[in-house]
Structure 1
Amino acid sequence: MSYRLILFMLILLLILLLSCASGQFSDLKPNAEPSTVWINNSTYAYSTNSDAGRDDRSIIRPILLYNTTDDVAFACGFFSNPSFDAFLLAVFALYTDPNITYMSYAQVVWSANRDRLVQSNSLLDFHADGDLILRDADGSTVWSTNTSGRGVVGVSITQSGNLVLFDKRNTIVWQSFEHPTDTWVLGQTLKERQRLISNTSTVNWTRGLYRLTLLSDGVYAYVGFTDPQIYHKLYLDKVNGSIYAMYTNGTLDFFAINSTDHVRLRTVNLPFASSIQFMRLESDGHLRIYERTAVGWKSIYDVMSDKRWYPSRPSPCNNPTVCGEYGICDYGMCSCPLPVDGYLKPLNDRKLYQGCSLVTPLSCQSIQNHRLVVVPNVSYFIDPDNTEPTIKGIDENNCTQACLENCSCKAVLFAKYYDNYCYLLSQIFTMAVNEGDSSTVYIKVQVNKEAQMKVSVGGLLAIIAGGLIFLLIAVIILQRKKRDMEEEDDELDKLLTGLPTRFSFEELKQATEQFTKKLGQGGFGSVYEGQIGDQRVAVKLLDGVGQGKKEFLAEVETIGSIHHINLVRLIGFCVEKSNRLLVYEYMSNGSLDKWIFNKSQDNSLDWPTRRRIFADTARGLCYLHEDCRYRIAHLDIKPHNILLNDKFEAKISDFGLAKLIDRDQSQVMTRLRGTPGYLAPEWLTSIITEKVDIYSFGVVVLETIFGRRNLDYSQPEENFHLLQLIQDKIKSGGLTEMIDQSHLELDFEDVILMIHLAGCCIQSDSNRRPSMSTVVKILEGAATVETDLQEVFDVAPIAIREAVHLDASTPPSATQVSGPRQGKRRRPSSHLQIQTPHAPSYLPPVPRMALRLVLFFLLLLLLLSATATAAETVASDVARIAGGATPTCDGLVGECAGDGEEDDLEGEEETRRYLYGYAGSRGRARFISYDALKRDRVPCDRRGNSYYNCQRSGRANPYRRGCTVITHCARMLH
């Protein structure tokens, strides 16, 4: 056979094959008549494969098809996902050509049997009486239009994707648009009380958690089955008559039907469609718009991300199931509430976004063992504006009790809105970290009493033996310590002769009426009002004093010798065992901060009073700096430490951080201390002089003039820093607008003079700041101040206000009479805590030593017994997580997880998600990224926590969101 003959035959064969393929699809019509049956099998003439926009290949078997002019058609037929061998009767949009020679990228927009799929060899019967019936392979009826006897003469798929049954007058008898599933196509109308219901997942077509419903006053998005909860709402004006919504090209229009006309209520603008477009309520609760592109169907817009729907929910935690049931979302990271006593656990340790579950399921047979535990610093998506409470107007205790008495209640949301709103929830979805939220969330858990009290006999004997040994050692140590303290008291009384009045603890306890009249929380302790004789006093009960008795008394002697009208006078003290108390004169008007930061008219100060406070404070500092035997740097000047008497005369208090400087010293080195916002730049070098007080004084003057704090995170981000804001206002000429004008008798010329004085005090170069004696002269009018505000505030040290974090981990020096100040401000935990009342902050008088030790021993036994089972569980969990490896915090972070743990992860992408999504004991990710696992060396402190350095990311505070990294060390060492 010649070469040309072979080539001719091959070309002829190819033409015949193409003709057959063209004929196969071109025979599809958009309509059909009754008495037609379509069988769903592999030999059916119109079967083909389609990838449906995914990597797999879904099977489509079209029976009706309407081809549009833009290469996209709507078809009705059987549709199957290869994840399972079952079929939907569906309407789907797909790609094709004018001759219908191929089909691809099918997307289901409506289905008849999403909750009951059919098998191969099922059939669709268009019965002669006009009923369209879907039967499974076994002959059972799965679905029907129920239109028999209604004059149906045909079925058709329309250009917009609507499956309709019509009569001989072409009147629609039944249509799929009247029975929406999860999709809304262009041209489709959604009537009042009609709804979209999401699929369970992308591969599970059964009805899911989410539904979107059109009601008379808006479009509501719900989540949940038996007791749906509103998570989104688009408001509409409520009118008489029914309403409907029309999805058109570029808009979503809402209309009301009254007796005479259709009234447009609202229009929501959407992306303009260049091809076929549809809107789908998806399994994650989002309402996304899809459009045809050259490479498949693409999501082009998320309708619910529009602020008109829900402006208050933050992203990416704006979805009720983003972290599953019981989960906590913190800027996209998922975690479970801390498993107190083993109440909660993740469904999947490597996929925390799937949510959490109760370790012991709730049982209505043992309701007496139910307990509510609070999840602090979180918010829940329910909005009181949208959702009526279960119970209204009751207090929090009665609200939680109502849940405990209702077995179907799984959680409580208590919100203080216009009234007390109590929500009893039968299902709890994702909570979001929100430290400023006024609502409280409780979770109901099952307490297993038997498991809590279970302890082995051998373990109990070991505890008793260890406790007895500990008791014996404690008695010996305490007796020896008591003897040493008595000897030390005798020696100190002889050495220190210049002390103020010494009081006993019992005297001060009676003077303060058992420490009941609390005035406030000062530096290092609480302050209580008291009465000694006919004199009112303020008694400061110091917390956590770390210095010895000798050092404390020596410092009290030094401070007690300082006397000035503008310094709070130390009247006396108490030092008994571990108790340290200071007795000060009483200042009836409290501290300056409550007068300048409180916007109430009743608490505002007029300008002459503020001016006098500046002068009093300056005289007090001048005395400390220049008129004492030592130069004394206060180191913590701020409004909280400036107290006012009944005549509003200012006096400086709280010498807890004071530093004594010899006259022959120009500067000293000391560790960082003080309050962020008032720290001078030289603190960064730890080499300071008394000029740091002058810087702080300048900040106080500015705060008093402008009526706000230097660091105020309640302001918009661009207004956090007062000095930066002043700098911007000077440049724009709007400085006077910032001045606190609580009283109209302001002398603006004098105010500007004070701003100039403050500008001199806050200069970065400490040598250019005036001395306090010069400041006093300026305030008294005996000297002038000349400074260029533009120049001063252009170089104002902004960074130190937020970048400095105080270190409270080291013991205080001998000059710190008030004990260690709180340094780093701990961020509140976003995990589960059981609320308990706070114990009194003072130590009661010590009873007999033997009774005290016996009580301590009994409490120790109860604690160890109750936690024995929990300890075994933790040990087991640690062994499982660590894979038996010894935790090492000196090497790569990954070593803390144990050798070989990452071997089970399926590829780099899942490893990234696992590491980034994992929440440790504080609800933070183990590692910043996948690369950090291999690269970063993160040291662990003695508690097992490792803090990632956030300076590089622009966040100076490591306790702000996203900056704390908890490694496996935290789980193993806590």
Structure 2
Amino acid sequence: MMHKNVCSIFLVITLLIPLIIPSSFSVSDYPSFVNAPNSWINTPSSGELSFWDSSFRESADVRPILVNGMFACGFHCTDNCLFAVSIFNTSSYDYYSRFPPPVVWSANRNNPIPDEEEAVLELTSQGNLVLKHANGTLIWSPNAAGSRLSLSAEGNLMLLNRTNRMVWQSFDHPTDSLVRGQRLASGQKLRASEGSYAFAIIGGEFRAYVDSDPSQIYYRNSFMEQENNSRQSYAEFLSQRFGTFYVGDSSSFIQLGSDGHLKAYTLTESGWEGTDLLSLDRCEYPLVCGRYSACSGEGCSCLDYASENQTNYFRPVNYSYPHLGCSAVSPISCDLPLHHSFLQLRGYYSQTAYSFLFSEITTLQDCKEVCLNNCSCKAAIYSRGKCSFLSQVFSIMKSDDGDDSISAFIKVHNFAISHNFRPRRKQNTRVIVGLILGAVFFVFLICIFIFLRSRKGFQEVEEDYLDSALGTPTRFSYKDLKIITKNFSNKLGEGGFGCAFHGILPSASEVAVKNLVGFGPVNKSFLAEVQTIGSIHHCNLVTLVGFCAEKLNRLLVYEYMANGFLNLWIFDKNKDTALGCQIRKKIICDIAKGLAYLHEDCIHKIIHLDIKPQNILLDEDFNAKVSDFGLSKILGKEQSRVITTMRGTPGYMAPEWLSSVITEKVDVYSFGIVVLEILCGRPNMDRSQQEEDRHLLGLFRRKQEEGNLMDLVDKCSDDMQSNAAEVVEMMKVAAWCLQTEYARRPSMSTVVKLLEGSGDVEGNMNGLTAEAREAYSSTILPSMLSGPR
């Protein structure tokens, strides 16, 4: 009897144990793969639980979807939520409550979900893996489609197709970490979750650097591992080694921290402990003391100087936290190079040599002179006949027992002010007086203008203004242009504001003379054209040779472009004259370079506002040049947006025109439309097509959903058809430019970087920021494209 009671008690205790002790999750609790279609909702932390176990939510802040071995994939939530892969030690429940699981990969690191907001992860019936807000706004999606989502025992999240072939994997898109068995290949990089530190394989060597332009390298170490029959270098995280680094047997993952340290982490009784792999001195990390700071054994301080007037040129960003760095009291400006000079640093300063741009200059004076005349140079370091330039001044290591042959110079503004309050008041007084005098002078000019207008009439005043405002273009008389064009007998083309005629200058140079017809808008267009391109020159912008402003006559004289307008070539259905793939790609790249110059490299930012094939001209070698600046808008360098009335051509206008607040990204959108027209060989609005195919953008969206983008490639060109894969890659660039949210569109300089690489667009993303690559990865989703207009 007693024996039976003992057995009964034992049986009851055995049944109750799982109810009393929260069990850790296992493969049996959560699957390692799921098939499409499927979806999961991440509800706010204050809401009801859905698919995750409450014990995990309260202890680990992880809401699992897939589990395999020590890895879990799901929503990882602290202050915000990430769709991520985390590492767990499933052998002990006590682990969860003591140590948060480290995230080793995340999809939406740059676009986290607020913990109070609901989000949905969906594996659609079409095989698209989509993370989105509850309102349908896209957060993240890979550039692939499959039918199964799987998590491997090594922590690799994979998307598989119906034949179980992998079409996408997280191992190809590392964030800041690598797990055992994962490779880091050339073209990939680790980027710290915060800050600008990065780690990659470049040129067959490990490099740790600050991801700036150009990169500031603080560690490099050569090694050579290559794929068979491939020139691609890689390093694999094995049981004891990662490339040339020894990581030990028990390390679970390697992570690049926001402080620039690369560490291999091992789980111990006291938590995750990291072993530093780079083994650098504290002061060798470029941002250990922020910008414009010196790092020494005593800590961080603003850069010291050797000047007679004892002016404070730098001050701490935060006096209580010197490691945050310093800033220039009076920042240098590329617009005022004559106001720049150098301050020589006190003591001995050094930094890893390959952090600099080198120049074979032999004298100290030449070294300083070159840096002063180079806008991107912020500092110069001279030692034994060698000159090094810094494009960014990060922390500089100071050593009092260093080599006295090293001279370091920081570029500063001559008019930097001190922290003394009286000079500050004095300068403020000068500024106020200057503003008052400027206002008086401006009013005086207005009065003169009104007076001249009343006496001579508006047209004559405009002519006088053009004479005084411009120096580069030649001013022609109307009689001269009649002779040049043989009385306007050879018409080249006709536009909204007038006709263009062929002409020959006395120097035998060929020109195109555009005769503007009309009043109000024509005058504005004429002035905008002359003001915009009269003083700028670029190989991908049409050159304004001269102009005529005589009474009611308004004419513009351009360089002659033998092959005329772009639309005449790309919309022509004649197979004999159809442009080949490489010519079209070159034209696209030329347009991008011209726009990049207008947006980023001019003294003022210029927004064209009317990019379309009719405003792109081709010379005899099919070099493309942007023309017709009649609607352009000029912004100051610091001006990010402008409010203006709607202008442009329907079909090429970006969605934000509805708000009348625009940026240079309206040109990027128009450029995307033009790229599609060039590649597809048809206008964006073609009434000869069936109703559902008339709008190119809508057709592009539909073909994208169907996975049939190659159907859009221009069928009049055999060369385009044979290079359809490369054409689709360029379509991806166009899709990035056509996103509804202007902030997610790339800059034109980024577009140029992509187009100047090989045909593989994704292979040329390495030089871009993580944010740019994140934005690009979502561009082929139909939801990111605007519908037809």
TM-score of the superposition, structure 2-length normalised? 0.46
TM-score of the superposition, structure 1-length normalised? 0.38
Q: Which has the larger radius of gyration?
A: 1
By relative contact order (CA 8 Å, sep 6+), the higher-ranking structure is 1
